[in-house]
Amino acid sequence: MNSIGKIIGQRVALGALTLWIVSLMIFAGIQFLPGDIATEMLGRSATPETVASFRKSLGLDLPLYLRYLDWLRGILHGNFGTALSNGRDIGSLIAPRLFNTVFLALSAAVISVPIALLGGIVSALYRNTFIDRAINVIILASISFPEFFVAYILMLLLAVHAGILPSLSDVEPGTSFWMRINAITLPALTLAVVVLAHMMRMTRTSIVNLLGNQYIETARLKGMSEWRVMVRHALPNALAPIANVIVLNLAYLITGVVVVEVVFVYPGLGQLIVDSVQKRDIPVVQACSLIFAATYVLLNLTADVVSIVMNPRLMHPK
């Protein structure tokens, strides 16, 4: 019999291996980008001697594998290096941006998860009716629109016409909690609309699959209301796949915010990586990419463990 500790250990080892492979891909992909970073930083008027000296100061004259090992060694010691654009420590540059991104993602989750659960229960309760079809049309339409389109529509309706929310999400480290909430409402609503469909569809499907079971019929024969049967008997047994898809969508909320942050000029990790690409600040791009990858791997690992804990049959593959 496999213990939960052994299974978690296997998943952690697999996640570490995956993250190492991703770090190789990130480093190699950025190194093989067209153009020369020294020329881009110094300008085309720089002399070859100046360019060569600058490349040496950055360690670009070393072999590729040595540069990767130095970078990986620094990451393992918590040292992300120094930003080329402003000379700041990358760790201190990323920390407030990462907090902003996580805050935005959690805010979107607070909006989307309860609505998804309620909408999925209603859709399952009134399945194959007009209400069910209307909900399906709405969520399929929301999942079909790209993030930037939803963002601009919400900005037009709530910021330009209604004037109740700011169109730009400008926050600073000293911004109060309620001012921060007001600033991120539009991007949080955009992300919530984008991920709502996945969670609602999974909730509906999981509950509908359980409604034909004998214990559901028994509860109905006892005279329990349909809503009570749904909430007390069907929903708890459908939580494993629902929790799995919620955690996976949370991973998307954190790693897929780049477009939304750029649209609303939100000072998060996504906006930072776009600005760093434009400035050819390679160390910052590598650090941000690795943080996104680590977050995604960690949350996928969490989803896997949650599925196993909530469904003990997965612990016994035989």
Lowest mean pLDDT among 39-53, 186-200, 258-272: 39-53
pLDDT for res 220: 78
pLDDT for res 258: 85
CATH superfamily of the 94-315 domain: MetI-like (1.10.3720.10)
Domain ranges (residues) in the chain: 4-76, 94-315
Lowest mean pLDDT among 28-32, 263-267, 306-310: 306-310
Report for 79-93, 284-298, 304-318: range of highest mean pLDDT: 284-298
pLDDT for res 313: 59
Assign 1 a pLDDT band (cuts: 50, 70, 90). very low
> What is the 3 state secondary structure string of 201-269?
HHHHHHHHHHCCCHHHHHHHHCCCCHHHHHHHHHHHHCHHHHHHHHHHHHHHHHHCCHHHHHHHCCCCH
Is it the case that residue 80 has pLDDT exceeding 50? Answer: yes
The three-class DSSP label of residue 101 is: helix
Residue with tokens 């989803």: 303
Residue 89: both structure tokens together: 């420590």
Are the C-beta atoms of 232 and 180 separated by less than 8 Å?
A: no
* Rounded (to 5) percent helix, strand, coil in the chain: 75, 0, 20
pLDDT for res 298: 87
Q: Rounded mean pLDDT of 214-239?
A: 77
Residue 40 phi/psi, 5-degree rounding, is: -65, -40
Is it the case that residue 284 has pLDDT exceeding 80? Answer: yes
Is it the case that residue 44 has pLDDT exceeding 70? Answer: no
Contacts of 261 (CB under 8 A, 6+ apart): 101, 104, 187, 267, 268, 269, 270, 271, 274
Assign 50 a pLDDT band (cuts: 50, 70, 90). confident
